[in-house]
Structure 1
């Protein structure tokens, strides 16, 4: 990985070995993923999973 002299772009986060933009992007992505994890599952997906489970049970009976 290239290191630039001076400026924010080349400054390294010594603890992680990553550049600051990488660390910032990682933090933002983590926050976004956590927000998505906390969203409820849409009802049509729940219905689809239920129908798939029922179809799988029917198929295993045959």
Structure 2
């Protein structure tokens, strides 16, 4: 049974038109700073005994 998926040995597999736009969007999201509320939450998760509930 033949497959339309590119094989690992294939060369010059064309990228879909939307691939560059998706990569740009991903890069902008990754570069966004982490909100302070998330930083606070991560700090609490790193030190669960510091809140006195353990």
For Structure 1 versus Structure 2, the TM-score category normalised by the shorter chain is 0.5 to 0.7
Contiguous gaps of at least 5 residues in structure 2: 5-10, 50-54
Alignment coverage as a number of residue pairs: 41
Higher helix share: 1
Contiguous gaps of at least 5 residues in structure 1: 2-13
The structure with the larger Rg is: 1
Instruction: State the structure with bigger RCO (CA 8 A, min sep 6), 1 or 2.
Output: 1
Structure 1 stretches of 4+ with a deviation exceeding 6 A read none
| Matches for 1:20-31 after TM superposition, within 5 Å | 22=16, 24-31=17-24
What's the C-alpha RMSD, in Å, of the aligned pairs? 2.1
Q: TM-score, normalised by structure 1?
A: 0.54
